[in-house]
Amino acid sequence: MKQPTVRIGADRSLEHQRLPAHCIRPQRRTPQIASLERMLRQKGLHSVCEEARCPNRSECWSRKHVTFMLLGRVCTRACRFCAVSTGMPDAAPDPDEPLQVARAAASLGLSHVVLTSVNRDDLPDGGASHYAATVRALKDEASAVSVEVLTPDFQGDRRSVERVCAASPDVFNHNVETVPRLYKRVRPGARLERSLDVLAHARRMRPTAVVKSGLMVGLGENEEEVVEVLEHLRRAGVDSVTIGQYLRPSRHHLPVDRYWEPHEFQELAVLARAMGFAQVASGPLVRSSYRAGDAYDEISANRSAEE
């Protein structure tokens, strides 16, 4: 069957992509989305929803769910799946950013805030102290808010992981992204063992927090390799996992090897649950921060019920 050519968001560079129907999500531009954009601009803030051209932006932003991207818009790595700009950042972290994020989250009335960032391998701590300052600013502004950090690997520096954990995030998230065989091609500059060590160290530092990770499929991996990565994640103490379909952000990024079928995502979810993950989100358009608050609430409710 001929598949339609669609646009994702406002990005015309995606018009080359022929997506199966289950990867298409209608994009609307509502006054609420426009006002969120304005607020981010006014406060000098960035979102990964825009920078990564996320297909869920319309849905998430209609519900005021935005994932803040700290430390600028230029990443020191060059992952071949990612739409964020690559290069050498020309600015130090903005000391005002933690407070601006906290105020933005408060004015949106967010009960669960997700923070992520570009890689900042140019900074001595990879940006860890900036993450910590933002978590603290959020908790100072609204003590009931839960905070999820989706961090880089800090080049495996455990002191950076400790610095972030010392600010008591409720969820420590770090994505492994793909299977080890594809790292060189997909995620040069990273290694699976290093990412697993980051997650395991966060587990040790924050025994009661949720430790979360995620990966994409559609880059050339097979099911056995995905299951193997899930096993590694469980051994590292990860309790929550996201699995989504890789979508090529532009012609300059890696092509999609295969679109996994919706039933295959469901099968992976069943499998992951059976492996002991407390929370699993698996679907074509699942992203790390997609409905992250719901995922956190689910784990918290289950934990309370077990006590």
DSSP one-letter string for 50-99? HHTT-TTHHHHHHTT--EEEES-SEESS--TT--SEES---S---TTHHH
| Number of other CB atoms surrounding residue 55 within 10 Å | 25
CB of 75 to ligand SF4, least distance (A): 15
Q: Looking at beta carbons only, is 59 or 121 nearer to ligand SF4? A: 59
What is the spatial distance between Cα 61 and Cα 94, in angstroms, rounded to a whole number? 25
Residues 304, 140, 242, 59: what is their CA dihedral angle, to the nearest 10 degrees?
110
Residues in Cβ contact with 2 at an 8 Å cutoff, skipping those fewer than 6 apart: none
CB of 150 to ligand SF4, least distance (A): 9
Q: Looking at beta carbons only, is 196 or 215 nearer to ligand SF4? A: 215
Cβ atoms of 177 and 81 closer than 8 Å: yes
What is the spatial distance between Cα 191 and Cα 197, in angstroms, rounded to a whole number? 10
CB of 47 to ligand SF4, least distance (A): 6
CB of 222 to ligand SF4, least distance (A): 26
Q: Looking at beta carbons only, is 232 or 296 nearer to ligand SF4? A: 296
Cβ atoms of 171 and 291 closer than 8 Å: no
Q: Looking at beta carbons only, is 61 or 131 nearer to ligand SF4? A: 61
CB of 228 to ligand SF4, least distance (A): 26
What is the spatial distance between Cα 93 and Cα 73, in angstroms, rounded to a whole number? 11
Q: Looking at beta carbons only, is 162 or 297 nearer to ligand SF4? A: 297
What is the spatial distance between Cα 298 and Cα 234, in angstroms, rounded to a whole number? 18
Q: Looking at beta carbons only, is 178 or 242 nearer to ligand SF4? A: 242
CB of 59 to ligand SF4, least distance (A): 7
Residues in Cβ contact with 31 at an 8 Å cutoff, skipping those fewer than 6 apart: none
CB of 288 to ligand SF4, least distance (A): 7
Q: H/E element holding 241?
A: strand 240-245
CB of 276 to ligand SF4, least distance (A): 25
Q: Is 71 left (phi over 0), alpha (psi -120 to 50) or beta?
A: left
Residue ranges binding ligand SF4 (CB under 6 A): 48-49, 54, 56-57, 60, 65, 67, 287, 289-290
Q: Looking at beta carbons only, is 116 or 178 nearer to ligand SF4? A: 116
3-state secondary structure of 169: coil
3-state secondary structure of 122: coil
Q: Looking at beta carbons only, is 177 or 220 nearer to ligand SF4? A: 177
